[in-house]
Amino acid sequence: MDIEQKQAELIDHFVKQASAQKGSALGSVIVEATSHPSLFAFSEILAVPTVAELEGTDNSLYLEVLRLFAHGTWSDYKSNSGSFPQLVPDQVLKLKQLTVLTLAETNKVLPYDQLMLELDVSNVRELEDFLINECMYVGIVRGKLDQLRRCFEVQFAAGRDLRPGQLGSMIQTLSNWLATSDNLLISIQEKIKWADTMSELDKKHRKEVEDRVEDVKKSLSLKKLHTVIRPMLTSEGLRRSTVNLVE
Amino acid sequence: MASSSSSGLTFKLHALVIVNISDHYTRVKSQMNPPLTSTSSTSTVNNNSSNGMEHHQQAPRVYGCVIGVQRGRTVEIFNSFELLCDPSTHSLDRSFLEKKQELYKKVFPHFYILGWYSTGSDAEESDMHIHKALMDINESPLYVLLNPAINHAQKDLPVTIYESELHVIDGIPQLIFVRSSYTIETVEAERISVDHVAHLKPSDGGSAATQLAAHLTGIHSAIKMLNSRIRVLHHYLVGMQKGDIPCENSLLRQVSSLLRRLPAIESEKFQDDFLMEYNDTLLITYLAMFTNCSSKMNEVVDKFNTAYDRHSRRGGRTAFI
């Protein structure tokens, strides 16, 4: 959430710049935006009408670059490097950061091998440095590095720009979440009712037992009046012990 | 009499102050009521007057001072203490106030008297006298009012903070009370005690069922709040999809990052740990039950033996075991 706040001013600044200029001048604005170290959101710039006009013109390459940064990954760039202009090192770094975000979208646990493949990094040390310095210190990702199991557990990842189809799946996830929590609420209520009924039953049972003890006591005390002293002692003892029994 | 304040001061009220005021009020109320009920039941002659008095004292007004710190435009009210008010002259006990002020200054050198508090449903004219009396300690004192009437329908706290402003009414400049908004601040210690009060268990220690019910009710209300908030988000996204609301990308990004954190607990490792802990708890409960049962059996056998032992001494049956 803090990343959004940090980015908000930058986004405004670039949107203003983009709407003020046209054509090839936009190209430099786009390059500047994509190399900026704290900017990860590009859909606002994409939405500016002057940028959309670039489509189909000579400068459509820049539009493609912007789209790549908004939705694509490093492997997309590598496979179609012909259709994109040469990227400066800042842009390369940014694209790799965005790739990590995309990977975090699908899995929560990212194995090092997959990361190394996607990011074109050959050894674990470099990968970990990249993750720690470029991703975690910037604040776009939070998680734990597990070197023994060679994976990266993502706890939080900043959001990338949305593809048009993603809104539907987000709504679906939200409604699933809602349904699950509704069910949970119902089952908690049932559990509370169950606990109450069980305690009611228990109290009733106790009361029944105590009533029976009272009855036995009364019947024995009646017997007491009809017996001699010695037997009285034994029945007295028996009565006391039966009382203790049903305690 | 109360409109909204325009002084631009932001107020932060600590939970301790609210607890203090309500404690003061409850104490005074409970100390006053029992003696009155006993006298009114014995004599009928005094019934009317004591009934009248009882009615007045059913809702006693308590008074006190609030202290805190003012830094720039932020006023933070940390603590409060009680004061005696003379009902006939409607003035506060000055010497007591000054003594208390000195004592508090020694312990908290940074705290100043920021104003005073009282209980009741609305600010009254007579309160202005006390307010003006305090104006020589603090040029613009605050008046914190707590409404002790319990209203289940009301969602906010029944606490209002009034400031005094000089308004021209009918050509005469007068001081009137104006309401100000405030926020609640808590320190860690305050949060713990408020949490403790909120989770009061039934005082008889309850049966296991009532404790379980209380715990589950807490969880239930927490999940309900979460549920309502997710519903709002859901509604908002559906509206965005239909096109009723313009797309706000920043929000969408935040929602997508939030949703990425789900499912929060589905990995295999979690299942293993969870099942292990579940089984451990069940085992321990089982073991405790076993121990209980065997000790009870032991007692039963002992008593049975004792009972039939006596019988055998009188030449009756032999022991059971």
Residue A52: predicted pLDDT: 73
- Angle, alpha carbons A96-A101-A103 (nearest 5°): 95
- How far apart (Å, rounded) are the C-alpha atoms in residues B4 and A235? 84
Contact B121, B147 (CB under 8 A): yes
Report helix angle A166-225 to B208-242, nearest 10.
160
Average pLDDT over residues B54-66: 68
Q: What are phi and psi of B76, to 5 degrees?
A: -115, 120
Nearest to A188 among B219, B233, B299 (CB): B219
- Residue ending a domain, among B185, B212, B231, is B185
Residue B163 and residue B274 in one domain:
no
pLDDT confidence of residue B280: 96
Residues facing B165 on adjacent strands: B176
Whole-angstrom distance, CA of residue B246 vs CA of residue B244:
7
**Residue A10 near residue A35, CB atoms below 8 Å:** no
Quickly tell me which residue has 């559990």 as its tokens.
A191
The 10s digit of each residue's pLDDT in B86-133 is 777 667 778 888 888 889 889 988 888 888 888 887 777 777 878 888
Q: List CB contacts (< 8 A) between B234 and chain A.
A: 171, 174-175, 178
Contact B261 A166 (CB under 8 A): no
Cβ–Cβ contact A199 with B under 8 A: yes
- For B162, counting Cβ atoms within 10 Å of its Cβ (0-12 exposed, 13-18 middle, 19+ buried), the class is buried
Mean pLDDT of B284-299: 96
Query: Are B149 and B282 in a shared domain?
Result: no
Give the pairing of strands B142-146 and B159-169: antiparallel
Please tell me if residue B213 touches chain A, with a CB cutoff of 8 Å. yes
Give me the pLDDT at residue B56, please. 44
Q: Is there a contact between B303 and A245 if contact means CB atoms under 8 Å apart? A: yes
In whole numbers, what is the pLDDT of chain B averaged over residues?
A: 78
Q: Using pLDDT thresholds of 50, 70 and 90, give the confidence band for residue A138.
A: confident
Residue A247 has pLDDT above 50, yes or no: no
In a domain, B247, yes or no: no
Within 13 A of A8's CA, how many CA atoms are on the CB side? 8
Residues of A within 8 A of B267 (CB-CB) are 108-109
For residue B101, give the H/E element and its range. helix B94-107
Which residue range forms the structural domain that includes residue B162? 10-31+59-185
CB B145 within 8 A of CB B62: no
The mean-pLDDT minimum among A157-166, A169-178, A237-246 falls in A237-246
Pick B253's closest partner by Cβ from A4, A104, A108. Answer: A4
Number of domains in chain B: 2
| Residues on chain B touching A156 (C-beta within 8 angstroms) | 257, 261
- Which segment of B15-24, B148-157, B287-296 scores lowest on mean pLDDT? B148-157
Question: Which pLDDT belongs to residue B310?
Answer: 61
Q: Which two tokens stand for residue B224?
A: 């309900």
**Which helix (H) or strand (E) covers residue B184, if one does?**
strand B182-185
Using CA atoms, how far apart are residues B124 and A17, in angstroms rounded to an integer? 58
pLDDT at B296 over 50: yes
Identify the pLDDT of residue B205. 58
Residues 112-151 of A with CB under 8 A from B: none
Of residues B166 and B278, more confidence is placed in B278
- The answer to whether residue B243 sits within a structural domain is no
Q: Which residues on chain B are in Cβ contact (under 8 Å) with A202?
A: 207, 209
Both tokens of residue A34? 């994509």
Nearest CA among B84, B146, B143 for reference residue B119: B146
Looking at the complex, report in whole angstroms how far the Cα of residue B57 sits from the nearest Cα belonging to chain A: 41
Count the Cβ atoms, other than its own, within 10 Å of residue B245: 13
Does B178 fall in a domain?
Answer: yes
Taking each helix axis from N to C end, the angle separating A24-35 and A89-106, rounded to the nearest 10 degrees, works out to: 60
CATH number, domain at B86?
Answer: 3.40.140.10
A200-204, B2-6, B233-237, B248-252: which has the minimum mean pLDDT? B2-6
Residue B172 lies in a domain: yes
Helix (H) or strand (E) holding A169, with range, is: helix A166-225
SS3 labels along A75-137? HHHHHCHHHCCCCCHHHHHHHHHHHHHHHHHHCCEEEHHHHHHHHCCCCHHHHHHHHHHHHHC
Domain assignment of residue B241, yes or no: no
In a domain, B143, yes or no: yes
Q: What pLDDT sits at residue A185? A: 92
Residue B68 lies in a domain: yes
Q: Would you kindly state where each structural domain of chain A is located, as residue ranges?
A: 2-157, 165-226
Q: Could you tell me what percentage of chain A is helix, strand and coil, using 3-state DSSP and rounding each to the nearest 5? A: 70, 5, 20
Model pTM above 0.80: no
User: Which of B248, B254, B260 is the mutation pick for testing A, counting most A CBs within 10 A?
Assistant: B260
The predicted structure's pLDDT at residue A43: 77
Label residue A157 by pLDDT band (50, 70, 90): confident
Task: Report the alpha-carbon distance of residue B228 to residue B275 in Å, rounded.
Answer: 30
pLDDT of B152 over the 60 cut: yes
> Residue B271 pLDDT > 80, yes or no?
yes
On whether both B173 and B279 belong to a single domain, the answer is: no
Q: For position B263, what pLDDT does the model report?
A: 66
Contact B253 A41 (CB under 8 A): yes
Query: What does residue B257 show for φ and ψ, rounded to 5 degrees?
Result: -70, -30
Burial A92-128, CB ≥16 within 10 A → b, else e: eebbbbbbbbbbbbeebebebeebbebbebeeeeebb
CB atoms within 10 A of CB A244: 14
Q: How many residues does chain A have?
A: 247
Question: What are residue B173's DSSP bridge partners?
Answer: B168
Q: Supply the pLDDT for residue B2.
A: 47
Q: Closest chain A residue to B218 measured between Cα atoms?
A: A188
Query: Is the per-residue pLDDT at B41 higher than 60?
Result: no
For the stretch A188-195, contacts whose Cβ atoms lie closer than 8 Å and that sit 24 or more positions apart, written own/partner, are: A188/B216, A188/B219, A188/B220, A188/B223, A189/B220, A191/B212, A191/B216, A192/B212, A192/B213, A192/B216, A192/B217, A192/B220, A195/B208, A195/B209, A195/B212, A195/B213, A195/B216
Tens of pLDDT, residue by residue over A189-237, are 998 888 888 888 989 999 999 999 999 999 888 887 666 544 545 555 5
Residue B49 has pLDDT above 60, yes or no: no
pLDDT at residue B246, rounded to an integer: 73
Distance CA A24, CA A191 (A): 67
Residues A29-72: tens digit of each pLDDT? 777 777 777 777 777 777 777 777 777 666 777 777 778 887 87
Q: What is the mean pLDDT of residues B158-182?
A: 82
What is the structure's pLDDT at B300?
Answer: 93
Same domain, B141 and B275: no
Domain for residue B212, yes or no?
no
- Which one is predicted more confidently, A155 or B14? B14
pLDDT of residue A155 exceeding 90, the answer is no
Residue A159 corresponds to which tokens in the numbers above?
Answer: 């959001």
Contact in structure between B148 and B119 (CB atoms under 8 Å)? yes
The more confidently predicted of residues B200 and B132 is B132
Q: Is the pLDDT of residue B282 over 80?
A: yes
Q: What is the pLDDT of residues A6-19, one digit of tens each?
A: 777 888 888 787 77
Whole-number pLDDT of residue B203:
58
CA A117/CA A103 separation, integer angstroms: 12
DSSP assignment, residue B156?
Answer: S
Q: How far apart are the first and last CA of chain A?
A: 62
